[in-house]
């Protein structure tokens, strides 16, 4: 869990390597064996004391076990119900859709008798802004995680991480507000510069907005700031778990600090870092209000430029929320929400698989 | 010392420690600079954001009316009234979420740590991860589909609370789970040795030991959901007057107030309210965060 835990553990090299493989959390490793002994104690006790209680315990035990299991099932049921009800509500609108749901750039739901909606542009804007955020936040997040675990003295590491954590405490609407009113005008010259000199590259080509503020470019930067604490917190935790003996072995070979990082810390923490980045991506894909405020809507379709405007899945839904009255048009937005749900489900599930138990949450 | 003594005996051997080559030194220095820069770069938006919110928000929140009055009867361009109605709404909606999410979350964590074995526990743990990644707008759409489209209810603060439950649950579960795992097995075993059944052990020994950590998790969960805007956009209408009843009528909340003023009120008074609202929201979230870290300092079990 913490580097201190590793230090206190006077294991040999081989033991430590085996401990690393399944899980690095000593508590979770100990738990199954610990509870196994517990279970055997409770099972063997009644005969020895001559009590008439059954092995499953009294009424209280059964009720309590049922309550806790039920609460666990609530979570499973919640996910299943989210999927189910979004599908149920989306299907009638998808059947009534007169455009291709996957390839149409339109999203026209004003006439319930002639629905024309597709997710092409929503997907493009969502992916462009999220991937841009990821491209900015990944290197910086890794840098901060290294700084906090390998460079900062232990006494300062805590307050420094707390400061980075403050970024996560700022509500997303405040990020949106600051992004459009303060940040956007300030970075307009940078956007202008990129468009003037790199405009031949499709990402920096002139977009479908008349202005250079409130573009995907601005939104991507705001999203990068928002996912930075997520990436940093998780990556830092994994880097801090790097086995002490690996670091010391590298140091004993005369490695500089950077070489220690390259030989010991990065190989150990790579999967955790990738998982952390995917958690960040999941957050960026679903971010609603900051994107709704920052990225302006555009009337013409996207050209895959960072200087386009438009809407992401989330911001499209939120923008139309006040007009949810008729079932069919509403279903069109629920269909978009369903795609977003599937997208974040896949990204988060992948993050968990990649992490292989190293990262929690 | 010994090196000096050994030296005459093996003169032809090159020095054991050679100086670090310039290329390696430069790389090492460059890495140090880059890594430090990454940290400093992250501080820029944080400081910039907090300073802008403070500068623009403080003039709004210093008036006594700000904390005690609503915007009822105040015209959009009038610098008057306050956000009491929005603070009430934010707290009421978070409280509804907490009343449901805290007990369910703690029990689910108990299940995962104390009872959960086999496939069901694995699926549950996986679903907690998935739930923590569900975007707030999707949670809001789900509640909309279930209660408004199918259930026929009208928009209300209560439905916002229900959507917030989904966002709060994973935070409560993960934090409680972590604390329960830190409770030493010796405590449990000592209790079993006295013949106390497992459920009583959990209720009387395990949960009280993990209490402060659990409360910290709950505080963090509150801090997270109070800034959520997507559910209030979908599930409740904005009201300029105070509404204590979450089951009926429109109910304001700080995020909804900020968004409404931002999208409908370009006047100077509107700007003042936007930034004042943002600062108020940050302050309230900070109070919960601070409470969380103070409580965790008095934790019974150290990490």
Nearest CA in chain A to B102: A71
Check pLDDT > 60 for residue B7.
Answer: no
pLDDT at B83 over 70: yes
Judged against a pLDDT cut of 50, whether residue A39 lies above it is answered with no
Mutation target vs B (from A50, A61, A82; most B CBs, 10 A cutoff): A82
Query: Which structure tokens are listed for A30?
Result: 């100990």
Contact A71 B107 (CB under 8 A): yes
For the cut 70, the answer to whether the pLDDT of residue A352 exceeds it is yes
- The reported pLDDT for the residue numbered A18 is 37
Q: Confidence band (pLDDT; 50, 70, 90) for A8?
A: very low
Whether B11 has a pLDDT exceeding 90, the answer reads no
Nearest CA-CA partner of B135 in A128, A312, A180, A124: A312
Of A85, A140, A170, the CB nearest to B38: A140
Chain B CB within 8 Å of residue A328 CB = no
More confident residue, B221 or B302: B221
- Kindly indicate the confidence band of residue A47, based on its pLDDT and cuts at 50, 70 and 90: very low
Distance (Å) from the C-alpha of residue B81 to the closest C-alpha of chain A?
Answer: 21
What contacts B49, CB < 8 A, 6 or more positions away? A170, A174, A175, A178, A182
- Residue, of B38 and A4, whose pLDDT is higher: B38
pLDDT tops 80 at residue A183: yes
pLDDT over 80 (residue A200):
yes
Q: What is the pLDDT of residue A7?
A: 39
| B105 inside 8 A of chain A by CB | yes
**The predicted structure's pLDDT at residue A210:** 81
Query: Is the pLDDT score of A42 beyond 70?
Result: no
Test B255 with A289 for CB contact under 8 angstroms.
Answer: yes
Q: With a cut of 50, say whether residue A201 has pLDDT above it.
A: yes
For residue A53, give the chain B residue with the closest CA: B197
Distance CA B243, CA B21 (A): 71
Tens of pLDDT, residues A51-79: 444 445 688 889 999 999 999 999 999 99
Residue B152 touches partner A, C-beta closer than 8 Å: no
pLDDT at A208: 81
The reply to whether B184 touches chain A by the CB within 8 Å rule is no
pLDDT in tens, B23-73: 899 999 999 999 999 999 999 999 999 999 999 999 999 988 888 888 888
Residue range A137-148: average pLDDT?
96
- Given CB atoms, is A230 within the 8 Å cutoff of chain B? no
Q: B155 with B231: CB under 8 angstroms? A: no
Q: Is the pLDDT of residue A302 over 50?
A: yes
User: Among partner residues B145, B169, B178, which is closest to A89 by beta-carbon distance?
Assistant: B145
Region A117-135: what's the mean pLDDT? 93
Chain A neighbours among B 211-270 (CB < 8 Å)? 223, 226-230, 233-234, 255, 258-259, 262
Q: Are strands A116-117 and A107-108 parallel, antiparallel or unpaired?
A: antiparallel
In this prediction, residues A111-136 reach a mean pLDDT of 90
pLDDT of residue A134: 96
What number of other Cβ atoms are within 10 A of residue B15's Cβ?
7
What's the average model confidence in pLDDT over B158-182? 94
Average pLDDT over every residue of A114-133: 91
Contact A64 B289 (CB under 8 A): no
With contacts defined as CB-CB under 8 Å, which chain A residues touch B138?
82, 86, 286, 337, 340-341, 344
Name the band, by pLDDT with cuts 50, 70 and 90, for residue A326.
confident
Cα-based distances in Å from B162 to A201, B42, B219, B231:
46, 34, 18, 9
pLDDT mean across residues, chain B: 89
User: How far, in whole angstroms, is CA B117 from its chain's centroid?
Assistant: 29
| Partner B contacted by A78 (CB < 8 A) | yes
- Give how far Cα A236 sits from Cα of A143, A147, A150, A229, Å: 10, 9, 10, 10
CB of A110 within 8 Å of any CB in chain B? Answer: no
Q: Which of these ranges, A34-38, A213-217, B224-228, B240-244, has the smallest mean pLDDT?
A: A34-38
Q: Do A27 and B195 touch (CB under 8 A)?
A: no
- Among A97-106, A231-240, A322-331, B292-301, where is mean pLDDT lowest? B292-301
Bigger pLDDT: A56 vs B152:
B152
Supply A48's token pair: 């020895």
- Average pLDDT across chain A, whole number: 82
Residues in chain A within 8 Å Cβ distance of B48: 178, 182-183
List, as ranges, residues 265-324 from A with C-beta within 8 Å of B. Answer: 279, 282-283, 285-289, 293, 313-314, 317-318, 321-322, 324
**What distance in Å separates the CA atoms of residue A28 and residue A49, rounded to the nearest whole number?**
32
Q: Quick check: A10 pLDDT over 50?
A: no
Amino acid B8: pLDDT: 54
Q: What is the DSSP string of A155-214?
A: HHHHHHHHHHHHHHHS-HHHHHHHIIIIIHHHHHHHHHHHHHHHTTSGGGS--SSSSSSS
Confidence of residue B296 (pLDDT cuts 50, 70, 90): confident
- Interface contact A361-B137, CB threshold 8 A: no
Supply A306's token pair: 């960072």
Q: Does B273 touch chain A (CB under 8 A)?
A: no
- In chain A, residues with a C-beta closer than 8 Å to the C-beta of B37 are 143
User: Chain A closest CA to B64's CA: distance in Å?
Assistant: 23
pTM: predicted TM-score of the whole model, two decimal places = 0.85
**Residue A5 pLDDT > 50:** no
- Flag if A259 and B28 touch (Cβ within 8 Å): yes
CA distance B292 to chain A (A): 12
Q: Do B110 and A257 touch (CB under 8 A)?
A: no
Going by pLDDT thresholds of 50, 70 and 90, the confidence category of residue A323 is confident
Could you tell me where the DSSP H helices lie in chain A? 3-8, 13-20, 26-49, 59-96, 120-146, 154-169, 172-178, 184-198, 216-240, 244-252, 257-260, 266-286, 289-294, 313-320, 327-355
Contact yes or no for A324 and B124 at CB 8 A? no
Residues of B in contact with A334 (CB under 8 A): 141, 144-145
Q: What is the DSSP letter of A321?
A: G
A29 touching B, CB under 8 A?
no
């Amino acid at each position: 869990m913490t580097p201190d835990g590793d230090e206190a553990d006077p294991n040999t090299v081989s033991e430590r390597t085996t401990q690393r493989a399944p899980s690095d959390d000593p508590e979770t490793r100990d738990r199954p064996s610990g509870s196994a002994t517990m279970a055997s104690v409770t099972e063997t006790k009644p005969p020895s004391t001559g009590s008439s209680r059954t092995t499953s315990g009294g009424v209280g035990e059964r009720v309590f076990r049922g309550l806790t299991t039920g609460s666990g099932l609530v979570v499973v049921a919640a996910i299943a119900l989210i999927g189910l009800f979004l599908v149920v509500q989306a299907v009638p609108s998808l059947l009534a859709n007169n455009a291709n749901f996957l390839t149409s750039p339109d999203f026209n739901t004003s006439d319930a008798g002639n629905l024309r909606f597709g997710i092409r542009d929503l997907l493009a804007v969502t992916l462009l802004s999220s991937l841009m955020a990821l491209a900015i936040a990944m290197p910086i997040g890794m840098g901060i995680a290294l700084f906090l675990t390998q460079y900062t003295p232990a006494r300062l590491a805590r307050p420094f991480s707390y400061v980075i954590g403050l970024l996560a405490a700022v509500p997303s609407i405040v990020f949106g507000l600051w992004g459009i009113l303060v940040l956007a005008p300030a970075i307009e010259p940078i956007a202008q510069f990129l468009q003037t000199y790199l405009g031949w590259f499709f990402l920096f080509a002139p977009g479908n907005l008349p202005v250079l503020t409130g573009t995907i470019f601005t939104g991507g930067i705001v999203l990068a700031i928002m996912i930075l604490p997520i990436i940093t917190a998780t990556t830092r935790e994994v880097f801090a778990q790097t086995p002490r003996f690996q670091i010391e072995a590298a140091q004993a070979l005369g490695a500089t600090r950077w070489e220690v990082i390259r030989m010991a810390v990065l190989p150990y923490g790579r999967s955790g870092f990738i998982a952390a980045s995917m958690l960040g991506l999941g957050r960026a894909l679903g971010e609603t209000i900051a994107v709704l405020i920052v990225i302006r809507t555009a009337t013409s379709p996207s050209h895959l430029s960072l200087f386009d405007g438009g809407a992401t899945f989330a911001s499209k839904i939120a923008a139309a929320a006040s007009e949810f009255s008729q079932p069919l048009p509403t279903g069109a937005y629920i269909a978009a929400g369903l795609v977003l749900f599937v997208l974040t489900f896949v990204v988060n599930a992948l993050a968990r698989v990649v992490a292989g138990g190293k990262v929690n949450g | 010392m010994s090196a000096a003594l050994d030296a005459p005996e093996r003169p032809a051997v090159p020095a054991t420690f050679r100086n670090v080559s310039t290329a390696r030194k430069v790389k090492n220095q460059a890495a140090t600079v880059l890594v430090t820069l990454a940290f400093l770069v992250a501080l820029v938006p944080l400081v910039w954001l907090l300073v802008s919110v403070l500068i623009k928000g403080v003039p709004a929140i210093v008036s006594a009316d700000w904390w005690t009055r609503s915007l009822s009867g105040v015209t959009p361009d009038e610098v008057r009234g306050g956000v009491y109605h929005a603070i009430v709404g934010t707290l009421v909606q978070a409280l509804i979420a907490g009343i449901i999410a805290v007990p369910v979350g703690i029990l689910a964590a108990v299940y995962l740590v104390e009872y959960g074995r086999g496939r069901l526990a694995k699926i549950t743990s996986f679903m907690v991860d998935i739930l923590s990644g569900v975007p707030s707008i999707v949670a809001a759409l789900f509640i909309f589909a279930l209660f408004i489209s199918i259930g026929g209810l009208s928009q209300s603060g209560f439905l916002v609370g229900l959507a917030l439950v989904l966002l709060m649950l994973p935070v409560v579960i993960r934090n409680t789970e972590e604390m329960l795992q830190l409770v030493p097995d010796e405590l449990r075993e000592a209790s079993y040795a006295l013949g106390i059944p497992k459920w009583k052990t959990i209720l009387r020994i395990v949960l009280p030991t993990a209490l402060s950590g659990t409360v910290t998790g709950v505080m963090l969960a509150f801090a997270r959901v109070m800034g959520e805007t997507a559910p209030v956009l979908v599930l409740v209408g904005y009201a300029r007057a105070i509404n204590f009843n979450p089951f009926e009528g429109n109910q304001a909340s700080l995020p909804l107030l900020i968004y409404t003023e931002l999208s409908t009120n370009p006047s100077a008074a509107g700007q003042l309210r936007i930034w004042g609202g943002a600062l108020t929201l940050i302050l309230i979230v900070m109070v919960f965060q601070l409470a969380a870290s103070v409580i965790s300092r008095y934790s019974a079990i150290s990490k």
